[in-house]
């Protein structure tokens, strides 16, 4: 999708992705504003235009974005559901949001992402993908690393990406691990790293991590993503490499991902969804 972005409000969760998007906007001279969430976001560098509020203060968040004349918003980084270690103290706007959508919090992530996007759209914003805010984040097609997927036929890589797509239909996660062509791990609510830590405990070697957009997923919220940490976790799990959906998967820092993969002897390969 290509369209002209207006001033972008970056709703910042955990990790480096929000900062990378803000830096990309700054380099291009495009207007932006980072709204960092107290519950999740890293420290935002002083040279980037930002403010910090609790995500649970939804009304204050809307007001801050309007005050900054943001028209588009992008969710970037890692977020968690209320409960567990994350305790929200909602303002009135957020409280009404929770009441209206209580059943959605018991469903899969995609249902929750849809209602979050709809809530921001009801407030007058357009929700866009991180890949629209910074197209350079999109995984390219082909092998990105010096390390080649020489142990595998092209059909093996296609089979892995298809398996990730099939798992995505369950709305449980975007990633799977295959060993010997058989799925041995499926991403759940704990995320990709939790799945890889579980596989690492077996001590077995070989296999592919595959990650792809869910078939019915809205493109604007939570596209699949990998970073150097994902490669390190895959190596610790004894895997041979990673296959991701080209054009739809975010690579947070492609230089770091490629350097890490080559250092650890893993391949990173992008496949178009049409091929799978």
Radius of gyration (C-alpha) of the chain in whole angstroms: 19
> Last residue of some domain: 109, 133, 157?
133
CATH number of the domain bearing residue 92: 3.40.50.20
129 & 155 share domain: no
pLDDT value of position 65:
97
Measured CA to CA, the distance from residue 146 to residue 34 in angstroms comes to 36
Looking at the domain assignment, is residue 3 inside a domain?
no
pLDDT value of position 190:
85
144 & 184 share domain: yes
CA angle 226, 120, 113 (to 5 degrees): 40
Looking at the domain assignment, is residue 26 inside a domain?
yes
Cβ count within 10 A of residue 175:
26
Cβ count within 10 A of residue 238:
17
> Last residue of some domain: 101, 133, 165?
133
Looking at the domain assignment, is residue 238 inside a domain?
yes
pLDDT value of position 115:
79
> Last residue of some domain: 133, 154, 185?
133
96 & 154 share domain: no
Any residues with CB less than 8 A from the CB of 104 and at least 6 apart, and which? 111, 112, 114, 115
Looking at the domain assignment, is residue 107 inside a domain?
yes
Looking at the domain assignment, is residue 193 inside a domain?
yes
Any residues with CB less than 8 A from the CB of 164 and at least 6 apart, and which? 174, 175, 176, 210, 211, 212, 243, 245
Looking at the domain assignment, is residue 80 inside a domain?
yes
pLDDT value of position 158:
97
| Structural domain harbouring 98 | 8-133
pLDDT value of position 94:
61
249 & 263 share domain: yes
CATH number of the domain bearing residue 173: 3.40.140.80
Measured CA to CA, the distance from residue 185 to residue 239 in angstroms comes to 12
Q: Could you write out the DSSP letters of every residue in 19-41?
A: HHHHHHHHHHT--EEEEEETTTP
pLDDT value of position 107:
56
Place of tokens 């204050």: 60
99 & 203 share domain: no
Measured CA to CA, the distance from residue 138 to residue 17 in angstroms comes to 12
pLDDT value of position 232:
98
Looking at the domain assignment, is residue 250 inside a domain?
yes
How many separate domains does the chain show? 2
**Per-position pLDDT tens, the chain of length 276:** 556 789 999 999 999 999 999 999 999 999 999 999 998 899 999 999 999 998 788 889 999 999 999 999 999 998 776 555 556 676 666 665 665 655 655 555 556 667 788 889 999 999 999 999 999 999 999 999 999 999 999 999 999 999 999 999 998 899 999 999 999 999 998 899 999 999 999 999 999 999 999 998 888 888 999 999 999 999 999 999 999 999 999 999 999 999 999 999 999 999 998 765
pLDDT value of position 4:
77
Measured CA to CA, the distance from residue 42 to residue 55 in angstroms comes to 14
């Amino acid at each position: 999708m290509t369209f002209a972005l207006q001033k972008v409000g970056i709703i910042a969760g955990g990790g480096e992705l929000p900062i990378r998007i803000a830096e990309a906007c700054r380099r291009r001279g495009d207007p932006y504003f980072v709204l960092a969430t107290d519950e999740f976001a890293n420290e935002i560098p002083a040279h980037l235009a930002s403010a910090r509020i609790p995500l649970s203060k939804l009304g204050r968040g809307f007001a801050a974005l309007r005050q900054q004349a943001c028209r588009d918003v992008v969710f970037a980084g890692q977020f968690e559901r209320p409960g567990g270690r994350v305790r929200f103290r909602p303002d009135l706007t957020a409280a009404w949001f929770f009441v209206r959508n209580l059943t959605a919090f018991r469903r899969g992530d995609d249902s929750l992402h849809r209602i979050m996007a709809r809530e921001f759209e009801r407030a007058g914003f357009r929700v866009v993908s991180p890949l629209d805010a910074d197209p350079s984040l999109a995984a390219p097609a082909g092998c990105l690393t010096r390390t080649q997927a020489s142990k595998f036929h092209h059909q093996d890589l296609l089979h892995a990406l298809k398996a990730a797509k099939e798992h995505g239909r369950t709305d449980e996660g975007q990633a799977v691990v295959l060993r010997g062509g058989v799925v041995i791990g499926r991403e759940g609510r704990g995320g990709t790293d939790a799945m890889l830590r579980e596989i690492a405990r077996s001590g077995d070697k070989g296999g592919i991590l595959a990650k792809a957009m869910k078939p019915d997923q809205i493109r604007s919220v939570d596209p699949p993503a990998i970073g150097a940490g994902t490669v390190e976790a895959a190596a610790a799990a004894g895997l041979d490499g990673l296959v991701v959906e080209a054009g739809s998967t975010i690579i947070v820092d492609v230089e770091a991902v490629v350097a890490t993969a080559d250092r650890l002897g893993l391949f990173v390969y992008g496949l178009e969804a049409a091929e799978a």
